[in-house]
Structure 1
Amino acid sequence: MLLRVEYRTDRVALSIYMASQLFDATADLYKLNPDPPPDPQELFTRFLAWTAQPPG
């Protein structure tokens, strides 16, 4: 919720920031647990999908 407040006027910047976090998290998770690898859909939902939703 704090990220939505901080980036309330620049949702594109929020999406870019969260995409970078997704990239880092994917690399970390793969190093920690390569088998099975991280589920791309779960990571996308957790890191990026919510940024496209209108604030409510």
Structure 2
Amino acid sequence: MSAQPNPDLQAPVALVTGATSGIGRAIALKLASDGFYVIVHGRDASRGKETM
């Protein structure tokens, strides 16, 4: 799943595991707001879509 099929190749990239809830989700959202291209990973795909 991808929310942005053509990422900005100049932006820093972050892979956040456990990004569907709790601290991982908060970190993913913060990194995205700071301009990172964020790849989220978690056990629940529907919650992952909510994070994106």
1 or 2, which has the higher helix percentage? 1
Q: Work out which of the two has the higher radius of gyration on C-alpha atoms and give 1 or 2.
A: 1
TM-score w.r.t. length of structure 1: 0.31
1 or 2, which has the higher strand percentage? 2
TM-score w.r.t. length of structure 2: 0.33
